Amino acid sequence: MSTFRKAIAASLSFALAGTALASPALAQGRSDAVAPSLTLKAAKSQHRAVTFAAAPAQMAGTLVLPLTGEADLATRASALSDAERDAIARALKAAEFDYKGQGSLSLRGIGGWDRIHVVSTGTDMSPAAIQKLGVMAGRALMKDKGPLTVMAGGLPAEAVAELATGMGIGEYRSDLYQAKARDAAAMAGTVVVGDTAGAARALYEGRGKALVEAMAFARDLSNEPANVIYPESFVERTRAAFAGVPGVSIEALDVPAMERLGMGSILGSGRGSARPPRMLIVRYTGRGASSAGPVVLAGKGITFDSGGISIKNSGGMGDMKFDMSGAASVVGAVLALSKSRAPVDVVAIAALSENMPDGNAVRPADVLQAMNGKTIEIISTDAEGRLVLADAVAYADAKLNPAAIVDMATLTGSIVTALGDDYAGMFSRHDPLATQLLQAGEASGDDLWRMPLHASYADDTKSTIADIKNSGASGAGAGAGAHFIGAFVKPETPWAHIDIAGMAWGGASDVKAAGSTGYGVRLLEAFVRNFQPVPKIAAAD
């Protein structure tokens, strides 16, 4: 072999080991000089304290009155005076209030109430529908700082708990750095009144309250700018959120640890950033959990995505602070499960990296090697989410003996073209696993649509120099991306990929504040809580 050919071979070998001259270790060295702002701190968030009672504590402030039909007014609002009920009935009739849909009507000047907010439960009384009704009420009453009373008599305890949970989720605010917009005065509490108060309290405190906290945690992480949340600070926020929660262990793999494991794919993705990657592993094992192995939830955690050398257009690039929403949601789901003491064995893996262009950045045509030994030809450095997930799922498969792996990512624009903001796209080789995820989506309100994993995607991602390339040639970009991630999971391991690019963030509406939606937290919490083992059988081609 000539001296030149020997030099080329040595260079390629060095790069495949994940320790090329443009190594993340250099980025690690530089990162000590890059610290978060010591003065930039989000304004303190506010949430109403929730209590449950058989009778109203006071007849003042804001009243929430859920009604299924006109007859409910006499029973559910029995604590009101005849004059108050008559005034409400006249107003509803004059407004031609529709009890069939999830509508609302706010009334003022009745009795001693500042506002009476009437909401229609509609005909759908499913947990997801009732929780959504609560979210809408919570959003609508954000500016009401006084005491809030919910009259829910006659509703089942499950519905009352879901209503309270939804109201807590709806109170979330994303104006993190508008300190003046967040009133310094604390919001008064919420009293939920009904004949099932004790049972509703147990359900809310056993699950709903943890969901409210986990949703806020995940949304805060996603809404924070990239100068505040980056791989290392994401880890710090997670440790703080789980502090004192029993059954939880947390490990954060730094650059040397990932180098020892051969994680050249995630390390390559972060080479251009002064902030080094991290692989965060959060495990919760609840009392009574199955011994079949953990359910692993792997999340794409690109804390900012400039596109790298394949740089994005400047328009809308700021939204790429949300490119770590998958990681935020998988950790949020485990936070909800652990705080509610669910009897499950679950692991969240947040594959954290920042995709930036500089002299050390990975380039198109470079070759990387993932933990499982597969080599990857880089076609586009903007297809970086699948790189970090390749090592995440390979680690889960090799080290954790998983009962199933589900990865979640803001992966492709093509899934938005296909499904808009109505569904996340779900891909799986294992029908029983896919069925459970679809059921969890329906139960939680985080809707999924199953997409195909066509055999042609393997041809689309073939490389002439490596085992696989990170961007397919066909128009089925979401499918090619899913196939790529699945290539790093053993065929027999139950695995699914969820592309949430169309669901993770958006403008303000009657069900959410501007920014992060927290999509996936409730979906994955419901999925893991109700998970049934899936046979480890390789799917037929």
User: Which residues are catalytically annotated?
Assistant: 312, 386
* DSSP label at residue 501: T
C-alpha–C-alpha distance, residues 12 and 129, integer Å:
55
Helix (H, G, I), strand (E, B) or coil at 53: strand
CB within 8 A of 86, min separation 6: which ones?
none
Place of tokens 């680690």: 395
β-pairing, 104-107 vs 61-67, is: unpaired
Three-class HEC string of 323-362: HHHHHHHHHHHHHHHHHCCCCCEEEEEEEEEEECCCCCCC
502 touches 424 (CB < 8 A): yes
Q: What are phi and psi of 450, to 5 degrees?
A: -75, 135
142 touches 184 (CB < 8 A): no
| Class of residue 131 by CB neighbours under 10 A (exposed 0-12, middle 13-18, buried 19+) | buried
Q: How is the beta sheet containing 468-469 ordered, strand by strand?
A: 367-369, 375-377, 468-469
DSSP 262-321: T-HHHHHHTTT-SS--EEEEEEEE-TT--SS-PEEEEEEEEEEE--TTSPPPSTTGGGGG
Query: Largest Cα–Cα distance of the chain, in whole Å?
Result: 99
Q: Which two tokens stand for residue 190?
A: 């919420």
Q: Which two tokens stand for residue 184?
A: 């310094």
